[in-house]
Structure 1
Amino acid sequence: MSDRPGLRERKKAKTRALIQKEALRLFREQGYAATTVEQVAEAAEVAPSTVFRYFATKEELVIVDQFPPFVAALDRVPPEAGPVRAVRLAMRAMIEGQTPQERADSLEREVLMFTVPELWAASVDNVTGVVGVLRERLAAREGRPADDPGIRNVTGAIIGVIVGVWAEWVRDRAMDAPARLDEALAHLEAGLPLPRP
């Protein structure tokens, strides 16, 4: 039996992707604040109510929940991998599964989230949720409770490294963010050594 989604699900996914693509284009061309949901709907050739069916708020047009694919990739990492290595391998697998356009769209979303105050506030809420889920997943992998201080510290260090690389990517858009992220997580995995210059 095929795992491929049915026609209805594929059409819904296509509509959602088109709405988001047009929203990102308009945000880039005329700015986030100046773009209305009605303009996004017109560009995507759908009704405003259709936009709201897929995205409850304007902010959600930018903030994409990429955590489910990451969690699926994390679950495929062998249990003997330590927490940082597991996250590194899962991030690598998730990024390798993206098309060049998906990576470009990801950068565009990151730029908006780091530079638009309304989106920054919404993304902080999103990150808080991600931290909680990641902490629970890593705790389960290690056979520890989620409130274990070691799990809290490892999760915080991983998130800090990821946010640091993403912030650098926003400032230097030519940067190879996947490679830099992999290097940064490898450094964390090695215990953050700082050799003397």
Structure 2
Amino acid sequence: MDGRPSTLREQRRAETQRVIQTHAVRLFVERGYDGTTVNDVAEAAGVSPMTVYRHFPTKEDLVLVDQNGPLVADRVAATPAGQPLVHRIGGALVESARALTAGDDRFLLARLRLMISTPALRARHLDNHHVLQQAIVDGLGDEAADPDTAFRAAVAASACLAAMHTALVRWATEDGRGDLPDLISEAFAAAFGDAAPRPR
């Protein structure tokens, strides 16, 4: 019973976040990123500017914030420890992409296009890759307690994220044609050859 209010609160928070971000991305697409203010987003979402900032501390966060890091980290943690790191990490990234594109993937496509076309977002997007890289290493838990293993995991994650980024850019510039998880798998094959993670 104690968990219910917390869960309900988290659900409300997630829903408010989703509504704000949906309106923000729509306005950025319609008016341009620089032509849209946080006040515009707040008005469209029916909340105060303070509420927007509570959920998204910076304007860039309105586009870049998502729940992909924990999702990928959980999937990496659930993989068998004996597999090569590139397989574990790459497989988790492909599975996460499949979850993100299930149903309507236009929102993801709009976000990616904004990231590619807006200089401030491009810079922060690279920061997000660093955060995701660390989340992946952290997802390995005690396995990455050894500095050498943590280093190898960070290298594998960085290589996988670079290949995935190339696939994301292609998918966005081609108007979302094709299956994004398949394209990411192709990018891994191009980067790693026979060592590439294979789709499940």
Flag whether TM exceeds 0.5 (same fold).
yes
Tell me which residue corresponds to 2:7: 6
Give the Cα separation in 2 of the matches to 1:20 and 1:54.
Answer: 9
Aligned AA for 1:53?
R
| Aligned length, in residue pairs | 190
Percent identity, please: 31
Q: Aligned with 2:80: secondary structure?
A: coil
Structure 2: runs of 5+ lacking an equivalent: none
Question: How many angstroms does 1:9 deviate by?
Answer: 1.8
When structure 1 is superposed on structure 2, of 144-153 and 78-87 the one drifting more is 144-153
Tell me which residue corresponds to 1:195: none
TM-score by length of structure 1 reads: 0.83
Measured on the aligned residues, the alpha-carbon RMSD in Å equals 2.6
Contact 1:146 1:152 in 2 (8 A): no
Contact 1:135 1:146 in 2 (8 A): no
Q: 1:135 to 1:73 in 2, by over 3 A?
A: closer
Tell me which residue corresponds to 1:55: 56
Contact 2:114 2:121 in 1 (8 A): yes
Q: Aligned with 1:6: secondary structure?
A: helix
Question: How many angstroms does 1:146 deviate by?
Answer: 4.9
Tell me which residue corresponds to 1:40: 41
More helix by share: 2
Tell me which residue corresponds to 1:114: 116
Give the Cα separation in 1 of the matches to 2:79 and 2:145.
Answer: 15
Answering whether residue 171 of structure 2 is matched by residue 190 of structure 1, we say no
Give the Cα separation in 2 of the matches to 1:59 and 1:21.
Answer: 14
Aligned AA for 1:79?
A
Question: How many angstroms does 1:128 deviate by?
Answer: 2.3
Give the Cα separation in 1 of the matches to 2:147 and 2:128.
Answer: 23
1:128-143 alignment, distance < 5 Å: 128-135=130-137, 137=139, 141=143
Contact 1:84 1:189 in 2 (8 A): no
Q: 1:97 to 1:154 in 2, by over 3 A?
A: closer
Question: How many angstroms does 1:38 deviate by?
Answer: 0.8
Question: How many angstroms does 1:7 deviate by?
Answer: 2.2
Q: 1:54 to 1:61 in 2, by over 3 A?
A: same
Give the Cα separation in 2 of the matches to 1:8 and 1:49.
Answer: 18
